[in-house]
Amino acid sequence: MLLDRSGVIDDVWTVIGEDDALPDGPAILPAARLAELAGVAHPVGVHIDNAADPRSLQPVLDRLGLISVAFPSFADGRGFSIARLLRELGFMGRLRATGPVIADQFAYLLECGFDEVSLPETVAARQPADQWLAQLDRLSAGYQRGALPGATDRGAGRQSILDQRRAASS
């Protein structure tokens, strides 16, 4: 199941393995095939594992339409920092969390800069989309700013309680 803050969405991207031919459409490459990025006409994404150094993607960030970050387990939180880093490095494309994360993490994922979540069917079966969307209203505000301060139109940034206090007192 693929979902973002609007609910379940269609996946226009094809995930490509080590030896697969490139499709005639948007493709998510394994990190090892990133060199093939140059000659491709369609949008290209990349899938990285959570031990990868996101800074290594810096030279190609503006040519990537999507970055998928692996979550081997919902309890392994490295992906949250990777997303923050990628946003801070200036990545403006889609950020996808891929793996068995849980609905209770949806707000955290969005606040760290992810746009969408790609779930294995086992998790999707137990936690249907309505449980994920319910998480969006979980907290009206936290004490930290979202990943894209000031960019609330992208839906990812949020005002922190500290910002709200300042607005209320001025």
Q: Which residues bind another protein (CB under 8 A)?
A: 74-78, 80-82, 84-85, 88, 102-105, 107-109, 111-112, 126-127, 131, 134, 138-147, 149, 161-162, 164-166, 169
Q: Which is nearer to another protein, 39 or 140 (CB)?
A: 140
User: Collapsing DSSP states into helix, strand and coil, what is residue 9?
Assistant: coil
Q: Which is nearer to another protein, 12 or 89 (CB)?
A: 89
Q: Which is nearer to another protein, 46 or 85 (CB)?
A: 85
Burial letters for 146-162: b for 16+ Cβ neighbours within 10 Å, e otherwise?
bbbeeeeeeebbbbeee
Count the Cβ atoms, other than its own, within 10 Å of residue 88. Answer: 12
**Minimum distance from CB of 20 to another protein (Å)?**
29
- Phi/psi class of residue 107: alpha, beta or left (left: φ > 0; alpha: ψ in -120 to 50)? alpha
For residue 95 the two structure tokens come to: 């950020």
**Minimum distance from CB of 37 to another protein (Å)?**
24
